Structure 1
Amino acid sequence: MAQVIDDFARTIQLDELWSDPYPIYRTLRENQPVAWVPAANRYLLTRHSDIAYLEKHPEIFSAAETHSLMIRVMGLTMLRQDGADHLRERKAAEPALRPRMVKQRWTPAFQRIADELIDGFRDRGEADLFTEFAAPMAAKCLAAVLGLADVPAQDLQTWSQAMMDGTGNYADDPVVWQRAESAARGVERAVDAAIERLSAHPDDSVISAMLHAEDPLTPRQIRDNIKLFIGGGLNEPRDATTVGTYALLTHPEQRARVEADPSRFKDVFEETVRWVAPIGMYPRQTTMETELGGTVLPAGAKLGIVLASANRDESVFDNPDTFDIDRTGRVHLAFGGGPHFCLGTWTARAQVGAVALPTLFRRLPGLRLSGAEPVRWGGWVFRGLLNLPARWDV
């Protein structure tokens, strides 16, 4: 049986994972939770317990992966560092993203952005909510938080997608590398302009916080980390918004309960990022030989930490493939854990759970899927909807 499962892992193809990774993850969880997958050039970790253990032991499972695709695209960000170096850069950005700042400064800004976008298409009675709402809202909100308010939302969307495609370019597609490198240069130019402005006129933004920290970051460190924020801070809230909307549109009983009690949109958000984790996989590397999930890993082993699988682990979640806002004791891993727990967690919860989702359902009466074209899914390193055609009553 072990040989059969090993052969299964070796036959996994990236296009299969992109189309629908969940059946593959289920097989790996049940039979080989730490499996060498040649197509990904790494061991995939698929069980919740193993990933939770890994996050508590960064001294064994390092974020500083050699030949990292993220480092190739973005440079050396805080996400690819451990220990004091990681903590220093994280601490510099943190003031702009604390819960109180998010509530008092950013949530009102998010609400204005959501309302302005909906004003632009509400009277039409139909729209693709991916392209006309979720994506531009994520870009505009991110621009405000980072200190890039003068950068067009479309530029941020283009840069984000290109860089994220690069960090997931395990197929080594040269066209993807070219797009990612071009996007990175665009980000650097925009950040340099922001640094010049914010050096003289500080504000509440992330770039300003990094510039004026007790231990300020260098321009290079700011550029690289803003690339990271543009990647993770745009695609993830965009995808959580579209997936959460789709989930409610296809689960009418749950939708009715949420519309009767809007405070439950926070439950919708948490279940959404469990059900379809926007960051499906991230890398780690072992610093020594170790055993995990019944597999002996050599020092220097490249790992893929599959949050999308952990969040559907049957040993943790009942009926894990089902969207259910009434789950109790949520212990999803959508935001990771340990020292690298997502710095934008509170921002994402506010942007999606407190603003985007409730505003859509409040302002678009009778919101429903249009049926004009099928809803499409894609991705495994980053997964979400690719469109969301909808209609509502005017």
Structure 2
Amino acid sequence: MSNAPHYDIDPGSFWTDPYPDLKVMRRDKPVAYVQQLGATLITRRDDIFVNEKKIDVFSSVQPDGLMSRLMGENMMRKDGDAHMAERRAIFPTVSPKTVATVWKAAFEAATDRILEELKPEGRCDLVEAFAMPVSAEALKAITGLTNMHFAEMNRVSQGMIDGCANYGGDLAIEANCHDCTRSIDDHIDERMPEAVANPDHSLLSVQLQAGLAESQVRANIKLAISGGQNEPRDAIAGVAWALLTHEEELARIRSGEATWLQAFEEYARWISPIGMSPRRVAQRYELDGVVFEPEDRVFLMFGSGNRDESIFDDPDRFDVTRDTAKSLSFGAGPHFCAGAWASRCLIAEVALPKLFDNLPNLRLAEGRDVRFGGWAFRGPLCVPCVWD
């Protein structure tokens, strides 16, 4: 185990709002062992940015890790040539060209349909009624699992997210995660003959076309669902909430001073939907006086790095005109999020502008609190809204 100084957290409070603890850690113990999480946390932006790239030390290969055990050995849990081979195989699905020429039209059609059904209601929870189905319909198209209902896509994604963050070893959470991965496998089984017979740009199809083993195909689809549903869902609802509670920032977008993409990038810095990435220490290494030993568990705390006071002025403030170039929202090294282009398109080019254009005088419902939760993955739990 590393000789890092210890820092104690209250797990419940940390889940509700991790930022106060992370601020103290950045200031006093930027590399600290948190017994309640069973890991050493790296909290300063530059330490994360530099060391995420050192895959010979901070390895993504974690055969005994929660993600590997629950979802299979996907490309996120591989480094070097093995990682790049699978990344190249899926590129035809997630490339900027494919996003622009194939997926954007699908995103627009699904979003228009959802808003048409929603508009007469006059009120909703943006998480459940808008962001969730918009994100799920996009993911159905991208993965090729068009036979899965959007609510089931959301359920299995949440189940895997909960399972991968289940550092407390809750057996019920683990069992639910296994049920979710079985559901995905069943839907893959049903869609595979069509994907073979009629190749397309979907993740299922391009992996089969590339000759990846079936176990790899399945593991990477589960990875895409675990990261491709909750994060866009939480970002869509979260950015909407941020703009509705910061009217001057929304006015900047309306006037053309700022863009929807800037709003999304700033939100992803400010309230990081992906708050951390785990690593396994592969060899002895020293950082800031802390000596890591092989097999230590390390968490790269993206959410903390994104509020590092040495990098961002007034980092706790939401500012759509901020320069977010140094944020870690999509990662920083060879594991930079492969779905970044699709996320930007779905959220900034489709979901947000269509939401505000189609629901007149959209506003938060009076007397209803908006609560956030999570530190590994973070988002609003409910965003009650009304419109004219």
TM-score tier (shorter) = over 0.9
Secondary structure of the 2:326 match is coil
Deviations 1:312-361 (A, max 9, x none): 00010001011001112521101002111100000000000111111111
Structure 2 residue aligned with 1:257: 252
Native 8 Å contact 1:211 1:217 kept in 2: yes
Q: Distance in 2 between matches of 1:250 and 1:329?
A: 20
Match of 1:350 in 2: 345
1:26-58: per-residue Cα shift (whole Å, max 9, x none)? 000001111011111110111001100112211
- What amino acid is the match of 2:102? R
Partner of 2:285: 290
Provide the rounded CA distance (Å) in 1 between the counterparts of 2:10 and 2:85: 39
* CA distance, structure 1, for counterparts of residue 288 and residue 235 of structure 2: 30
Q: 1:159 aligns with which of 148, 156, 159?
A: 156
Query: How many angstroms does 1:260 deviate by?
Result: 2.1
Match of 1:378 in 2: 373
Structure 2 counterpart of 1:48: 45
Q: Deviations over 1:271-306 (max 9, x none)?
A: 011011111111001111111233111122110111
Q: Which letter maps to 2:25?
A: L
Matched, 1:227 2:200: no
Alignment check: 8 A CA contact 1:17 1:380 kept: yes
1:240 alignment counterpart: 235
Using the alignment, how far apart are the partners of 2:85 and 2:258 within structure 1? 36
Return the TM-score normalized by structure 1.
Answer: 0.95
Aligned to 2:266: 271
Structure 2 gaps, min length 5: none
Measure the CA separation in 1 of the matches of 2:372 and 2:179.
26
The amino acid that maps onto 2:183 is G
- Alignment-derived partner of residue 104 in structure 1: 101
Query: Which is further off, 221-230 or 82-91?
Result: 82-91
Q: Is residue 68 of structure 1 aligned with residue 65 of structure 2?
A: yes
* Aligned with residue 31 of structure 1, among 28, 31, 41: 28
Tell me the alpha carbon deviations over residues 64-123 of structure 1, each in whole angstroms, 9 at most, x when there is no partner: 124211112101110001111111111111111100110111111111111111111101
SS of 2:334's equivalent in the other structure is helix
- CA offset at residue 250 of structure 1? 0.6
| Residues 65 and 302 in structure 1, CA contact (< 8 A), matched pair in contact too | no
- Report the counterpart of residue 114 of structure 1 in structure 2: 111
Go from structure 1 to structure 2 and tell me whether the alpha carbon gap of 1:203 and 1:66 turns closer, same or farther (over 3 Å shift). Answer: closer
Contact 1:34/1:294, CA 8 A, preserved across alignment: no
Letter of the structure 2 residue corresponding to residue 253 of structure 1: E
Aligned equivalents of 2:155, 2:12: Cα separation in 1: 23
**C-alpha spacing 1:42/1:66, structure 2 compared with 1 (3 Å):** farther
Q: Residue type matched to 1:247 in 2? A: A
- Which residue does the alignment assign to 2:54? 57
2:289 aligned with 1:306: no
What amino acid maps onto 1:202 in structure 2?
P
1:226-285 residue CA offsets vs partner (Å, 9 max, x unmatched): 111000000010011011001100111110111222861010111011011111111001
Unaligned stretches of 5+ residues in structure 1:
none
Structure 2 letter corresponding to 1:42: A
Taking structure 2 as the reference length, what is the TM-score of the superposition? 0.97
Secondary structure at the aligned position of 2:273 is classed as: coil
**Distance in structure 2 (CA, Å) of the matches to 1:359 and 1:23:** 35
Answer yes or no: is the 8 Å Cα contact 1:275–1:323 preserved in 2.
Answer: yes
Which 4+ runs in 1 deviate beyond 6 A? Answer: none
Instruction: Write the distance in 2 (CA, Å) between the matches of 1:358 and 1:295.
Output: 47
Alpha-carbon distance in structure 1 between the residues aligned to 2:235 and 2:27: 28
Provide the secondary structure at the position in 1 that maps to 2:33.
Answer: strand
SS at match of 2:314: coil
Letter paired with 1:230: I
**Alignment match, 1:84:** 81
| Counterpart selection for 2:137 from 137, 140, 146 | 140
How far has the Cα of 1:6 moved from its partner? 4.0
Q: Size of the alignment, in residue pairs?
A: 386
- In the TM superposition, residue 371 of structure 1 has moved relative to its aligned partner by 2.1
Q: Deviations for 1:161-194, whole angstroms, at most 9, x for unmatched residues?
A: 0010000001111110010010011111111222
Match of 2:213 in 1: 218
Residue aligning to 2:197: 200
- Where 1:39 maps in the other structure, the secondary structure is coil
Q: 1:149 offset after TM fit, Å?
A: 1.1
Task: Tell me which residue corresponds to 2:17.
Answer: 20
Specify which of 311, 316, 319 is matched with residue 324 of structure 1. 319
- Point out the more displaced range, 72-81 or 363-372: 363-372
Aligned-partner Cα distance in 2 for 1:14–1:80: 26
